[in-house]
Amino acid sequence: MEFVYALSGLFAGLFLGAVAVVTALTYTPYGASLFDTAITALTGVTLQLGNLLFISALTALAFEGLAMSGIRYPIVVPAAFAYVLTHVTVYYSCIRITDLQSEPLDPDVIIKHNPFRALVLGVPGSLLLIRVRPPARRN
């Protein structure tokens, strides 16, 4: 029962990350319209909240596992660890999702024969692993 909040945060973070990735893959904002701004805000907020929830829950579970095995740390250590990891992940995920959003549903980014990859991209931190093709030069 004591892990209910951590597990709920873990799954909520995964869900929000998946919402952000699916939104970025399916819609490219083209201007400064109210709709484009709302979609961009939805993508950013869900990505950042998803990363925050997922990494906080994962940190809580990891340090609780260490405590159960007899290794104890002051509360500052897991808090600092989660803070740094969340900020690094959010920073790089936001950069990657912006690149990903510039070419939605590109077969080089999302493999057509493996739709499961789109779900995997929703896992916080997985956006760090994808390679996004540089934009083509236009003459």
Q: Tens of pLDDT along 60-90?
A: 899 998 989 999 889 899 899 988 988 888 8
* pLDDT confidence of residue 131: 56
Q: Is the pLDDT of residue 10 over 80?
A: yes
Q: What is the model's pLDDT at position 88?
A: 85
Q: Give the per-residue pLDDT at 133.
A: 54
Residue that the structure tokens 């003459």 belong to: 139
If we measure between CA atoms, which residue out of 31, 21, 32 comes closest to residue 101? Answer: 21
Specify burial of residue 92 (Cβ count, 10 A radius: 0-12, 13-18, 19+).
middle
Neighbouring CB atoms inside 10 A of 100's CB total 22
Pair 13, 53: CB distance under 8 Å: yes
Tell me the pLDDT tens digit for each residue of 19-68: 887 787 777 777 778 888 888 888 888 988 988 898 989 998 999 989 89
Cβ-Cβ contacts under 8 Å for 9 (sequence gap 6 or more): 53, 54, 56, 57, 60
Alpha-helical (H) ranges within the chain are 4-26, 34-68, 76-102, 116-120
CA of residue 132 relative to chain centroid, distance: 16
Q: Look at phi and psi of residue 29 and say left if phi exceeds 0, alpha if psi is from -120 to 50, else beta.
A: beta
